[in-house]
């Protein structure tokens, strides 16, 4: 506003250049290294001190995987669906996989932790809430996560029905994870999001089978990122699990 109370004209380009743009609160602040403070539950924290890694920084082929479910017959709005999904995110996860949300909720800049079962072993890592608005929110993965990914959850109207969608843009972070994806981890991941969407639909009184579309965005591998194996979540989760007795003994001595 100008000093005499007249509203200044803003052009679209002015708005984009505005340091306090209208979506500023929707984005996480710039963080060099993650800090998962204030996470509910007894989650193994293997993300503190890790940098964020997007799909461009990963090793493997780049995939875009879209999972969606049509909530036919539901009169819920996209905003209502997203409000429930965001607030009750862990409840829609498959049994045996645990998601530990930040105490502040899935707000931009917050870090959540999770622990998932991948056959004989458990993998523990976390995600940063990169973006959140009324109709979508996005997670970004840290170093050590099995994927270098963004996962965007959204809801929208299509053909008169609300649709809930999870879209994953991802690469395996390192060669070990790339092999794991081809040996079955891709299917486990697909099953995870199909389960989540089925349970979300059920929450809104809809029984529906989610659909999936998978596209290979870049078939080449980033060999310069093969070094990411140093942070591999599987290796670190195994070390964490094997170290449990030592931590119990230490805790007992401290008491």
Partner 1 sequence: MPEIFEASVRHVDGVSVIDLKGEMNAVAEQALTAAYHQASRDSSKSVLLNFRETTYINSTGIALIVAILAQARKMRQRVLVCGLGEHYRHIFQITRLADFMSLHDDEASAVAEATSAA
Q: Interface with partner 1 by CB under 8 A: which residues?
A: 12-13, 15-24, 26-31, 52-57, 62, 64, 130-131, 133, 136-138, 140, 150, 152, 154, 156, 167, 169, 217-220
- Least spacing, CB of residue 77 vs partner 1, in Å: 16
Identity of the residue, 43 or 169, whose beta carbon is nearer to partner 1 in the bound complex: 169
Query: Which H/E stretch holds residue 12?
Result: helix 12-17
- Least spacing, CB of residue 29 vs partner 1, in Å: 8
Identity of the residue, 62 or 194, whose beta carbon is nearer to partner 1 in the bound complex: 62
CB 152 within 8 A of CB 166: yes
- Least spacing, CB of residue 121 vs partner 1, in Å: 29
Identity of the residue, 52 or 76, whose beta carbon is nearer to partner 1 in the bound complex: 52
Identity of the residue, 118 or 134, whose beta carbon is nearer to partner 1 in the bound complex: 134
What is the phi/psi pair of residue 106, to 5°? -80, 75
Identity of the residue, 43 or 139, whose beta carbon is nearer to partner 1 in the bound complex: 139
Structure tokens at 172: 């395996």
3-state secondary structure of 102: strand
- Least spacing, CB of residue 62 vs partner 1, in Å: 5
DSSP string covering 46-75, please? --TTPPEE-GGG-SS-EEEEEEEEE-TT--
- Least spacing, CB of residue 141 vs partner 1, in Å: 11
Identity of the residue, 5 or 29, whose beta carbon is nearer to partner 1 in the bound complex: 29
DSSP secondary structure letter of residue 33: S
Identity of the residue, 86 or 122, whose beta carbon is nearer to partner 1 in the bound complex: 86
- Least spacing, CB of residue 161 vs partner 1, in Å: 17
Q: Output 152-157 pairs: Cβ under 8 A, ≥24 positions apart.
A: 153/82, 153/85, 153/86, 154/78, 154/82, 155/78, 155/79, 155/81, 155/82, 155/85, 156/78, 157/78
- Least spacing, CB of residue 107 vs partner 1, in Å: 14
Q: Give the separation between CA 182 and CA 50, rounded to whole angstroms.
A: 26
E strand spans, the chain: 52-53, 62-70, 98-100, 111-118, 121-133, 136-142, 147-158, 161-172, 211-218
């Amino acid at each position: 506003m100008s000093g005499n109370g007249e509203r200044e004209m803003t052009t679209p380009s002015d708005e984009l250049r505005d340091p306090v743009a209208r979506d500023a609160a929707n984005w996480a602040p710039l963080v060099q290294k993650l800090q998962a403070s204030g996470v509910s539950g007894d989650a193994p924290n293997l993300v503190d001190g890790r940098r964020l890694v997007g799909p461009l920084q990963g090793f493997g082929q780049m995939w875009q995987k879209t999972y969606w479910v049509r909530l036919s017959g539901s009169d819920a709005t996209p905003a209502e669906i997203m409000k429930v999904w965001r607030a009750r995110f862990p409840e829609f996860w498959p049994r045996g996989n645990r998601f530990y949300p930040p105490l502040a909720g899935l707000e931009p800049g917050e870090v959540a932790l999770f622990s998932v079962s991948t056959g004989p072993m458990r993998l523990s890592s976390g995600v940063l809430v990169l973006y959140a608005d009324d109709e979508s929110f996005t997670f970004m993965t840290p170093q050590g996560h099995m994927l270098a990914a963004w996962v965007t959850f959204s809801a929208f109207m299509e053909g008169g029905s609300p649709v809930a969608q999870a879209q994953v843009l991802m690469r395996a972070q390192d060669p070990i994870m790339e092999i794991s994806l081809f040996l079955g981890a891709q299917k486990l991941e697909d099953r995870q999001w199909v389960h989540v969407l089925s349970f979300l639909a059920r929450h809104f009184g809809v029984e529906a089978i989610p659909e999936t579309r998978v596209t290979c965005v870049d078939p080449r591998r980033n060999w310069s990122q093969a070094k990411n194996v140093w942070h591999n979540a599987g290796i670190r989760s195994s070390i964490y699990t094997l170290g449990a007795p030592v931590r119990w003994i230490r805790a007992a001595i401290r008491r």
